[in-house]
Amino acid sequence: MILNKKIPLKYWLNNIKKELFIVTIFSTFIFFLTKYIFKITVPSSIGAFLITAISLLLSFKLSQSYDRWWEARKIWGAIVNDSRSFVVQLKNFTKDTDNEIVKRMALRQIAWCYSLSLNLRMQDPLYNIEEFISKDELESLKNKSNVPLSLLDTNTDDLSILHKEKIINDYQQVQIDKTIVRLCASMGKAERIKNTSFPKTYRETLYIFIFITLISLSFAFSNMSGFLEIPVIVIIAIPFFLLDKIAKNIQDPFENRPTDTPMTSISRTIEINIKQQMGLENIPEPIISDKFYVL
């Protein structure tokens, strides 16, 4: 997630350097074509109309992309709330934070958050979660296709044990089970965003029409003196391509990019909260990034 810090100019330029290079090439070509070979004049009104149309389409695309990013952030906000509620219920219903099963379930919830964030980013979902689960459980998870789901399933098994041993009653089991179901629903919503691509035809069509608009402007500005039309076209191109790149990046919030939902940072916050709730030691510090973004 981009933080409220100064974003380096290098980051902006790296996003659109290929597009600016292409614009510079074709605007230079059109300049020499219209000046030394044959004159082609395009009314500036056409360029103005295309700019207006592209601006509206970009605005719509940005809105749709932001909706996907914000939905992902709301999903992880719900995960924070339900993770805290899960441990609060375990503590209050059992009245025993020293119970081995309760500790195991609380730590497994931390592992679930980290594992889900890694799984959404197509990374190893078992990475660095050995602190929170036993070696035998870690080994058994290596054969699972959906590790976060397996962790939730194991927590439901432990919940059944608490119920069978009369540590919690029927009503308390139902309440905790509802919290686990909400966590599972949040996972499904995040996976839906991850596995549903933004329509490529719409994205690519808009991208092509930005170039068409800039080409028409290059012909419309061919009467400008000197090489002035080339930098003017490049300057006009910058906001269009930047907005297009911003929309493209935020529409996929689980890709391990600066614009991502900060799942690792959120998972660390959950770890801190749960360990403090359980009165455990080795509480880590919150993730503080020295960059302009946090993951």
Q: What would the two tokens of residue 10 be?
A: 């290098």
Burial of 159 from C-beta contacts in 10 A (0-12 / 13-18 / 19+): buried
Helical segments of 123-228, H only: 135-141, 147-164, 170-195, 200-220
Q: What would the two tokens of residue 288 be?
A: 């503080």
CA-based end-to-end distance of the chain: 6
Residue 261 has pLDDT above 70, yes or no: yes
Percent of the residues in the chain that have a pLDDT greater than 90, as a whole number: 41
Q: Which of 10-24, 225-239, 269-283 has the lowest mean pLDDT?
A: 225-239
Residue 183 has pLDDT above 70, yes or no: yes
The whole-chain average pLDDT of the chain stands at 87
Model-level pTM greater than 0.75? yes
Residue 32 has pLDDT above 90, yes or no: no
Q: What is the pLDDT of residue 116?
A: 96
- Greater pLDDT, 224 or 29: 29
Residue 225 has pLDDT above 70, yes or no: no
Cβ atoms 125, 118 nearer than 8 A:
yes
Query: 3-state class of 226 per DSSP?
Result: coil
Q: How many residues does the chain have?
A: 295
Please list, in sequence order, all residues whose beta carbon lies within 8 angstroms of the beta carbon of residue 110, skipping any fewer than 6 positions away.
132, 267, 270, 271, 274, 275
272 secondary structure, DSSP code: H
Confidence of residue 171 (pLDDT cuts 50, 70, 90): very high
Q: What is the pLDDT of residue 70?
A: 94
58-112 pLDDT tens trace:
888 888 889 999 999 999 999 999 999 999 999 888 876 678 899 999 999 999 9
Confidence of residue 227 (pLDDT cuts 50, 70, 90): confident
199-218 pLDDT tens trace:
777 778 888 888 888 888 88
Q: What is the pLDDT of residue 222?
A: 73
- Cα angle 232, 233, 235; round to 5: 65
| Average pLDDT for 259-275 | 92
Tokens 């809105």 found at = 63
Cβ atoms 18, 24 nearer than 8 A:
no
